[in-house]
Amino acid sequence: MPKTDATHDARRRSWVDSANGHPEFPIQNLPLGVFVPPEGGAPRGGVAIGDFILDLGAAHAAGLFAGAAARAAEAASGPALNDLFALGAGPRAALRARLSELLALGSPERPRVEPCLHRAADCTLQLPARIGDYTDFYAGIHHATNTGRQLRPDNPLLPNYKHVPVGYHGRASSVVPSGAPVRRPNGQRKPAGEAAPSFGPSRNLDYELELGIWMGPGNPLGEPIPIAEAGARIAGFCLLNDWSARDIQAWEYQPLGPFLAKSFCTTVSPWVVTPEALAPFRIAQPPRPEGDPAPLPYLLDAADQREGALAVELEVLLLTPGLREKGLPPQRVALSHTRHLYWTPAQLVAHHACGGCNLRPGDLFGSGTVSGPEEGSFGSLLEATRGGRKPLRLPSGEIRRFLEDGDEVIFRAHARREGFASIGFGECRGTIRPAP
């Protein structure tokens, strides 16, 4: 696991004024992404600093990097970060260390760095990488319990849950960056009480609050990744909204799992928060409740148990047409935390590769919906409204069982720890458009 160093020093300030005290992107964060600058041109790798984006290719061309940092900046200067992700932790950490120096208050390089900055509000953010495969896990144990309870009140968790990091293959083509519209899908659904299914717009459209994981160096087909090495294969983290059409899902998912109920769209936040930036926010994997089985040896590593989990607070906000009309702000409908994940990110990587399935740089994982155990911490409307039976009441007078056209869902996330500067993930937003 990465250790803290000077780049995490809460006292370090930047000559980019807006970075100091920035809720998302202070100099201690330095997340990676791909953007198109205000004047247009090819998409390129950049780093968020306060209200600005630093163009990595331009900074590299200006001769601001050497050695491993230069290799990383060069790999990040194209339209996708896959090559940077493939380099692994060493060059990425070297890039971070140099960027932190360059952007720190008092840096003698400021005159050479400043021309490489663009105002973020004028840039367009894209997906950070070409996604080879996208896999969605189910590691939020309270979500699994809450949704399982709706089907099996006495026995909500299936027998495999505490042994297997359950997951399924998702659709890579329909992953979009924050801000892209989300079209309500048509599909087959068979409402309770109707004799036959019909085809039309989903009536039970939902969000799912997930942590996204970007893969770094992968493994050749047939060769597993040992759990002790699995954490170091991760290139970074983001927010992920696994939009779900519950009525389509209920009808289609037996026996092979969710398909069109999920694959119409998945939204990710565009910034990749690196394992280096998150070093201060590592926590022990919460102890398993009394009676739970120990993970099998291929999923068990002492260091991973000690510091492989993350302390990241996750929020869901909802902005409806009625709230917008009344000038009311987005309403927070959930506050959750990554400590509610039953498996660490490294366990998800090691499990995915344990049978030899090859992971590639730029592959994306979803953690599964991160819900807490109590009211107000549920990562989906299915849980928050008990499948629609207990609607949300908004200050606009609107009620919500599931999402309506025009609703905007906003996820935010922050890592916090006493003595360290908080860092944010940026937003993961999407607005529901009517079905075609």
Residue recorded with tokens 């089907």: 151
Query: How far, CA to CA in Å, does 56 sit from each of 61, 65, 109, 232?
Result: 9, 10, 15, 23
What single-letter DSSP state applies at residue 4? Answer: P
Our answer to whether residue 337 is catalytic in this structure is no
Work out how close the CB of 212 gets to a second copy at its nearest, in angstroms, rounded to a whole number.
Answer: 17
Contact status, residue 278 vs residue 3, Cβ threshold 8 Å = no
Within a 10 A sphere around the Cβ of 285, how many other Cβ atoms?
Answer: 20
| d(C-alpha 431, C-alpha 277), whole Å | 30
Three-state DSSP at 130 gives coil
Query: How far, CA to CA in Å, does 212 sit from each of 34, 38, 364, 413?
Result: 16, 27, 7, 11
- β-bridge partners, 424: 414
Within a 10 A sphere around the Cβ of 329, how many other Cβ atoms?
Answer: 10
Nearer to a second copy, 168 or 420 (CB): 168
> Smallest Cα–Cα separation from 404: which of 427, 383, 428, 388?
388
Residue of 118, 143, 351, 352 marked catalytic: 143
List the Cα angle 270/247/316 in 5-degree steps: 35
Within a 10 A sphere around the Cβ of 124, how many other Cβ atoms?
Answer: 14
Give me the residues that bind a second copy (CB under 8 A), please.
132-133, 136, 138, 148, 158, 160, 163-164, 166-174, 176, 181, 183, 185-188, 190, 196-199, 202, 221-224, 245, 248, 251-260, 263-265, 293, 296-298, 351-352, 354-360, 363, 433, 436
Query: How far, CA to CA in Å, does 373 sit from each of 283, 334, 335?
Result: 19, 12, 11
Work out how close the CB of 22 gets to a second copy at its nearest, in angstroms, rounded to a whole number.
Answer: 32
Work out how close the CB of 405 gets to a second copy at its nearest, in angstroms, rounded to a whole number.
Answer: 14
Nearer to a second copy, 64 or 248 (CB): 248
Work out how close the CB of 52 gets to a second copy at its nearest, in angstroms, rounded to a whole number.
Answer: 30
Furthest CA-CA distance within the chain:
74
Three-state DSSP at 242 gives coil
> What is the DSSP code string of 346-396?
HHHHHHHHTT-PPP-TT-EEEEEE---SSTT--SSHHHHTTTTTS-EE-TT
Nearer to a second copy, 97 or 357 (CB): 357
Work out how close the CB of 49 gets to a second copy at its nearest, in angstroms, rounded to a whole number.
Answer: 31
List the Cα angle 284/289/290 in 5-degree steps: 125
| d(C-alpha 301, C-alpha 349), whole Å | 13
Residues annotated as catalytic are 143
